[in-house]
């Protein structure tokens, strides 16, 4: 048996430091919400591959779907030789995404690729080049993805210059003193001082910011953006890469709002662990690029597509939207109890099972990343994997599989409770 230390030694010699690795152990196997390292230690997985495993590790339905497809073909390149499963999945995404208007969907491989293509589609549809994004938003590690991302460390350090015609405004955040009105005024400020509205192709935002700290966009903010877009002929893009597929208690986070986006990006839990992403949007907007303008060699890989079809069945049959609400309420209730005895807890927030806890210094009220890291380290030592986030690194987010057994969830909450109080 190769030890964790042996793998780390080999990793340090073979791979660059720019690929940051959180854990000091190496995975050997996993099942639903649990994984085991090469030395046999068990962990409860509240990271889920960064929100990729809403349906858990190795769901039997997903394994069966991939196994069956392996017996048929693994690759043709959809834009060379198409296959029906791609069309079937597009039909289902069009049906379950918010709104009853005519929609079309194209598939890609990664979330960043979906974002890049959403911007391409928006520019083709409007004939404009400008894009507005928000502070704290995360949209990928490609050059355009980094340009859109409103968080410098670690994503942008040393990689500029970035593509032009990208502008940022503050995102509403009551905990950090940014009101909805201030955020709206900041977008209007951009129109006044940086770029005229008729040159803006799109406004892109996450309905719930992921890396930014699980900050939920207030409904009045989403309405104001929709009104601005309608007034100026701008497209509204909802980046649902982390929020999609039952995580927030609805299939998509935009279903929590009373306005609709023109385009949506999705990835992560779409295919249950296989690389697949998508852009779904108004049919007339999606048809703007010329034939050949969209696609990619691996875009809409057949193994990932059948896995995604299985994921949608699992979400429906196992009622994972309701499960997300139930688990999220259980987690928030526990955190509120712990908050009474842990002065560093400044806020508990989230939709469904997209829940986060933010830590501040009790005396100054300033972000407390040191405490956050201690909680994460204590939990990991006890066998619970947690992810941090937030512009200041002072937020812990919870991304457990929505299929997690009740007993495993209870065990994880006990470890979390101990880590917070310790």
Q: Is the pLDDT of residue 1 over 70?
A: no
Hey, what are 295's tokens?
């696609």
Percent of the chain residues topping a pLDDT of 70: 100
Closest CA to 265 of 237, 288, 285: 237
The model's confidence at residue 260, banded by pLDDT at 50, 70 and 90, is very high
The structure tokens 């909805």 sit at 180
**Given 3.40.50.970, 3.90.1150.10, 3.40.30.10, 3.40.47.10, which CATH number is that of 4-58+319-421?**
3.90.1150.10
- For 328, the token pair is 């999220």
Tokens found for residue 113: 């690729």
pLDDT of residue 286 exceeding 90:
yes
CATH number of the domain at 63-317, out of 3.40.640.10, 2.40.10.500, 3.40.50.970, 1.10.3720.10?
A: 3.40.640.10
Query: Residue 185 pLDDT more than 90?
Result: yes
Whose tokens are 């928000």? That residue is: 134
Average of per-residue pLDDT across 102-129? 98
294-324 residue pLDDT tens: 999 999 999 999 999 999 999 999 999 999 9
Three-class secondary structure of residue 384 per DSSP: strand
Q: Kindly list the domain boundaries of the chain, sorted by start residue.
A: 4-58+319-421, 63-317
Between 302-317 and 60-70, two packed helices, what is the crossing angle to 10 degrees? 150
DSSP 216: B
Mean pLDDT of 171-177: 94
Asked if 266 contacts 241 with a C-beta cutoff of 8 angstroms, the reply is yes
Residue 152: HSE in the Cβ half-sphere, 13 Å Cα cutoff: 5
Contacts of 411 (CB under 8 A, 6+ apart): 44
Contacts of 237 (CB under 8 A, 6+ apart): 118, 119, 122, 202, 203, 204, 205, 261, 262, 263, 264, 265
**153 confidence band (pLDDT: 50, 70, 90):** confident
| Residue 244: pLDDT over 90 | yes
> Tell me: the pLDDT tens digits for 63-99?
999 999 999 999 999 999 999 999 999 999 999 999 9
Statement: residue 2 has pLDDT above 90: no
Contact 165, 221 (CB under 8 A): no
Q: Which pLDDT score is estimated for 407?
A: 98
**Percent of the chain surpassing pLDDT 90:** 99
pLDDT tens-place string over residues 324-374 = 999 999 999 999 999 999 999 999 999 999 999 999 999 999 999 999 999
Q: Using omega within 30 degrees of 0 as the cis cutoff, is the peptide bond preceding 116 cis?
A: no
């Amino acid at each position: 048996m190769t030890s964790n230390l042996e793998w780390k030694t080999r990793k340090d010699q073979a791979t660059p430091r720019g690929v940051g690795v959180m854990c000091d152990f190496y995975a050997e196997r996993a099942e639903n919400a649990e994984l085991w390292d090469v030395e046999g230690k068990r962990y409860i997985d509240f990271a889920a591959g960064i929100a990729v495993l809403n349906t858990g590790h190795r769901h039997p339905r997903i394994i069966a779907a991939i196994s069956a497809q392996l017996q048929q073909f693994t690759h043709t390149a959809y834009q060379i030789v198409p296959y029906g499963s791609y069309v079937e999945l597009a039909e289902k995404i069009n049906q379950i995404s918010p709104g009853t208007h005519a929609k079309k969907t194209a598939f890609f491989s990664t979330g960043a690729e979906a974002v890049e293509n959403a911007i391409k589609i928006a520019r083709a549809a409007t004939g404009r080049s400008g894009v507005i994004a928000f502070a704290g938003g995360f949209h990928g590690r490609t050059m355009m993805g980094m340009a859109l991302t409103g968080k410098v460390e670690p994503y942008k350090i040393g990689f500029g210059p970035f593509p032009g015609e990208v502008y940022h405004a503050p995102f509403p955040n009551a905990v950090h003193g940014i009101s909805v009105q201030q955020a709206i005024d900041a977008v209007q400020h951009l129109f006044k001082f940086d770029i005229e509205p008729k040159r803006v192709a799109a406004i892109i935002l996450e309905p719930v910011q992921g890396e930014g700290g699980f900050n939920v966009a207030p409904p009045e903010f989403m309405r104001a953006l929709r009104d601005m877009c309608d007034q100026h002929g701008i497209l509204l893009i909802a980046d649902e890469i982390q929020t999609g597929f039952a995580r927030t208690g609805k299939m998509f986070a935009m279903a929590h709002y009373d306005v609709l986006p023109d385009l949506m990006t999705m990835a992560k839990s779409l295919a249950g662990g296989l690389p697949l992403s998508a852009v779904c949007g108004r049919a007339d907007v999606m048809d703007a690029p010329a034939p050949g303008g969209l696609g990619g060699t691996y875009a809409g890989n057949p193994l990932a597509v059948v896995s995604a079809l299985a994921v949608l069945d699992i979400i429906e049959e196992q009622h994972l939207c309701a499960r997300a609400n139930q688990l999220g309420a259980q987690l928030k209730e526990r955190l509120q109890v712990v908050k009474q005895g842990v002065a560093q807890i400044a806020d508990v927030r989230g939709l469904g099972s997209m829940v986060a806890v933010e830590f501040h210094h009790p005396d100054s009220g300033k972000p407390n990343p040191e405490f956050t890291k201690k909680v994460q380290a204590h939990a990991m030592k006890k066998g619970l994997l947690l992810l941090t986030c937030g512009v200041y690194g002072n937020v812990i987010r919870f991304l457990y599989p929505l299929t997690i057994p009740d007993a495993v969830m209870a065990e994880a909450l006990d470890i979390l409770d101990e880590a917070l109080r310790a």
